[in-house]
Structure 1
């Protein structure tokens, strides 16, 4: 591969735009942050910043990247950077392409970040839900009933045959939420079900919650769900657990609002 301007490597980008790239990196970090030392994380974050012009692609000298860390008061060595790169390649986070100059001599590498591949949830029917996450009400009953049927081992093959990936998700689901959730649940019906929970939970907040507010809530709750799963807690019913998380967030915000109103009135 010939060395050149970063623009000539656009075709290597795995991401739609910078937001898509950042979302993928955030998911990678949930899995991999603990695998890197503090110095290696500094190196990785600097490489990520240098991969913004073309989302997920960097064409720079290692010494340039090391120097950029030093300029920010984060002194790391070249060997630390190289060690970070070896780990990133091992985990599948990066692919490194060698480039050559016109005279055939080796030039600096092209670093290409890869899309996140979830290692924790391949089928929502395999996750257990604890008693503490169970909720009351008709929607809980419907969810549990529906999920129970989906969890039926005898029907799994049939479900997989009828499964549609995230690209078939209804346009009623905001794109940002769909793109975030698909890294863990690449199934249109599952994503729609998660958004349905948000719609139900925010029904009485419609007058002052914008779509962006709902998306922010939905993603925050999803991060908490994934975090819980990654910490080893078994969740049989992801929908019931997600419902409980969303409910808890809204309850907390409601209480905080009351406190703020009281303080304003008292003053």
Structure 2
């Protein structure tokens, strides 16, 4: 992605307007405020303020943001800001894109994400080094692991079902009919579990819900290609702690690449 002014990155915004952005941030903070230290919250709030011109998008340098905190009488270090960014990426709050100018890496672009409800919240254990990469843009494997509360519920359910042999683990044949057969049959070769198959398809649904030009066949093609990329990377030795987070990153990067092709064709 080429470096440029903030207007160049309008297409990355996830929000209708500034009010929509602020509403999503309020929801995020209810869940995540306690996850950040006092200094990290200062850094995060400063980044939010710098993301107002284009709702949810900021391309300021880290040093500029740190200096702005100092000017406001809130002294934080660069390492504190970077630590905040690592946490924000792991929680799925922010996606960071690298930009390049004259063949050299330039400043980053920070893109806030829409609030995800608790049952599709971000795991805090995802390794940032396991990000997907495409066209020089890195994205944390944003996504989709159940919250601790949901995990506890699942564990209790698993324990309950283990007491009754008539409730075995449900395989792919129990997958919801909302999941296309083509995708179900592919995934079941590797994960013969209806929950996992439905979770993979949920990611496709969330990622494409605003793409009104996308047909069902387009979604199926995206899902199949993304899943094949996931399997290929794992087979080649990629260590993935969260398959759903990694899958989300692959899907998102494929959509970004498609968007850039469309922009280039129209130019």
Under a length normalisation based on structure 1, what TM-score does the superposition of the two structures give?
A: 0.45
**Greater per-residue helix proportion:** 1
Point out the structure with max Rg over C-alpha.
1
